[in-house]
Amino acid sequence: MLHDNKAQAFLNDARPGIAEPADGPGEIVDFAISFLRRQYPIILFIVALGLGTGFIYLRVTPPVYTAHASLIIDPNKSPFIQQQGLLGDNPIEVDSQIEIVKSTAVALSVIKDLKLMDDPEFHRSGGGLGLSWLLSFSTVKPQSESDAMEALINGFSNGLSVGRVSGRVIDISYSARDPNKAAQITNAIAQAYITDQLEAKYEANRTASNWLQERLTQLREQADTAQRAVEIFKAQNNIVSIDGKVLDQQQLAELNGRLSAARAQASDLSARLNRLQAIVRAGPSDTKLDGAITEIGADPIVTNLRQQYLELARREAEWSARYGRDHLAVVNLRNRMRDARESMFDELRRSAETAKNDYELAKQRQEQIEKQLADAIGQSRSTNQAQVTLRDLEGAATGYRNLYDSFLQRYMGSAQQESFPITEARVISPASPPLSKSKPKGIVVLVLSLIGGLGLGSGLGLLRDIMDRVFRTGEQLEAALQTPCIALVPLVKLGLAKQSPHEKMAYQAVGQQGVASDAVFRTVVDSPLSSFTEAIRAIKLAVDLHVGNRPGKVIGFTSSLPNEGKSTVAASLAALIMQVSGRVILVDCDLRNPSLSRRLAPNANIGIVDVIAGRNSRQEAIRKDAKTNISLLPMVKKTPLFHTGEILASDAMRKLFDELRAEYDYVVVDLPPLAPIIDVRATTHIIDFYMLIVEWGRTNTDVVQQSLKSSPGIYDALVGAILNKTDMAAMKLYDSHRATLYYNKHYARYGYTE
> The domain spanning residue 143 has which CATH number?
3.30.70.1130
15 lies in a domain? no
Q: End-to-end CA distance of the chain, in Å?
A: 39
Range of the domain at 575: 481-748
Contact between 746 and 754 (Cβ < 8 Å): no
> The domain spanning residue 578 has which CATH number?
3.40.50.300
401 lies in a domain? no
* Comparison of pLDDT for 314 and 742, the residue scoring more: 314
Half-sphere exposure of 517 (CA within 13 A, CB side): 20
Does one domain contain both 490 and 624? yes
For residue 401, pLDDT over 90 is answered with no
Contact between 205 and 212 (Cβ < 8 Å): no
pLDDT at 562: 92
β-strand pairing of 485-490 with 666-670: unpaired
pLDDT at 660: 92
2 lies in a domain? no
Does one domain contain both 263 and 290? yes
429, 457, 490 — which closes off a domain?
429
Does one domain contain both 452 and 307? no
Does one domain contain both 70 and 56? no
Q: How many domains does the chain have?
A: 4
Does one domain contain both 177 and 313? no
pLDDT digits (tens, 9 = 90+) for 206-229: 777 778 777 778 777 877 887 777
pLDDT at 683: 92
Does one domain contain both 617 and 680? yes
Does one domain contain both 462 and 497? no
Amino acid at 26: G
Residue 64 CA from chain centroid, whole number: 39
Does one domain contain both 500 and 585? yes
Nearest 5°: the CA angle 186, 165, 448 is 85
* Comparison of pLDDT for 65 and 22, the residue scoring more: 65
pLDDT digits (tens, 9 = 90+) for 594-632: 988 888 888 888 999 999 988 899 899 999 877 777 889
Does one domain contain both 531 and 630? yes
pLDDT at 495: 45
Q: Print burial letters for 412-429: b (CB count within 10 Å at least 16), e (below 16).
A: eebeebbeeeebbbebee
Contact between 401 and 223 (Cβ < 8 Å): yes
Would residue 127 be called left, alpha or beta, if left means φ above 0 and alpha means ψ between -120 and 50 degrees?
left
Q: Average pLDDT of the chain?
A: 77
pLDDT at 498: 46
Contact between 637 and 594 (Cβ < 8 Å): yes
Overall pTM surpassing 0.85 (yes/no): no
What is the rounded average pLDDT of the residues 243-262?
70
396 lies in a domain? no
For residue 84, pLDDT over 70 is answered with no
Does one domain contain both 515 and 636? yes
pLDDT at 208: 75
239 lies in a domain? no
What is the rounded average pLDDT of the residues 470-484?
87
pLDDT at 506: 44
pLDDT digits (tens, 9 = 90+) for 64-82: 888 888 888 777 655 544 4
Distances (CA, A) of 12 to 7, 18, 729: 9, 17, 35
* Comparison of pLDDT for 212 and 724, the residue scoring more: 724
Peptide bond into 528 cis (omega under 30): no
291 lies in a domain? yes
673 lies in a domain? yes
639 lies in a domain? yes
* Comparison of pLDDT for 293 and 315, the residue scoring more: 315
pLDDT digits (tens, 9 = 90+) for 362-388: 888 878 877 877 776 766 666 666 667
Instruction: Please give the order of strands across the beta sheet that includes 169-176.
Output: 160-166, 169-176, 65-73, 425-429
Does one domain contain both 349 and 450? no
Within 10 A of 327 (CB to CB), how many other CB atoms are there? 13
Does one domain contain both 547 and 678? yes
pLDDT digits (tens, 9 = 90+) for 109-139: 888 888 887 777 776 544 444 444 444 444 4
What is the rounded average pLDDT of the residues 29-35?
71
